Structures are given as structure tokens and as C-alpha cells.
Amino acid sequence: MFFQFGDFLSPVLTGGITAAAVTATVSSDSSVLLAMLLGMLLGMAALVVLSLLLMPLFGAFEVMVPAMLSGMAAGILTGMLAASGVAGSAGVIGAGLIVGVMVFWFVQWRNKALQGRAL
């Protein structure tokens, strides 16, 4: 149960922190392509910081894989949303959190599908 909490916490925190960093750095008059690239870089930076904090508690696999997927996907999506001006700051951060939850469910679904298989 403790490691499943880490499975949930790492992508959601990464998505939220990435989205908050994107809203702080990207304005609505920015280029969408550059905002997506900047968002991806901010997602990777958030991944590194959160990995150093959460890996001693939850383990490397429970943190790195979901946080990597969440940071990059949330960075790209929220960078695009922030640059296009479609959503405000709260909407962009909410989108980052939703991406984190979706990554959590995706990783859980793939773990269940791979359990029991002989590779």
C-alpha cells in the first residue's frame, strides 16, 4: 500500500509542479512550439528534483517511470495551453494534475497486464 501511494504521488506532483512552472514562465503571446519545448524541459527539471526527494521513500521504479511520463506529457500539454491562452493559470495547473492522474492509471494498467507474464 505504501508503494502504491508513491505510485500515485510522484506523477501527480510532477504534473502539478510542471504546470505551475509553465504558468510562471510562459505567456499567452509566446510561440506554441517553443512553449511546448520549454514545458518539456521544465517537466524534466521537476522530475529530477522530485526524484531526489521521493526515491529514498518509495523506490526508484515507483518514482522514476511515472514521474518521467507525467513530467514530459504535462509539460507539453500545459505549455501548449498556456501559450494559446485557452485556459487560465488554474486551468493549466488542473490540466497538469489530470495528466498526472492519467499517467498513474496508465502505469497501473500496464503493471497489471504484465504481471504473471514470462518475459
Domain boundaries, the chain: 10-109
- How many Å is the maximal CA-CA distance in the chain? 51
pTM, two decimal places: 0.86
**Residue 30: how many other CB atoms lie within 10 Å:** 17
Alpha-carbon span 33 to 31, nearest angstrom: 6
Higher pLDDT: 86 or 20? It is 20
pLDDT in tens, 61-117: 878 888 999 999 999 999 999 998 888 889 999 999 999 999 999 998 988 888 876
Amino acid at 17: I
Contact 22, 39 (CB under 8 A): yes
Contact 37, 79 (CB under 8 A): yes
Q: Give the DSSP letter of residue 28.
A: T
Alpha-carbon span 16 to 68, nearest angstrom: 13
CA-based nearest residue to 8, from 115, 83, 101: 101
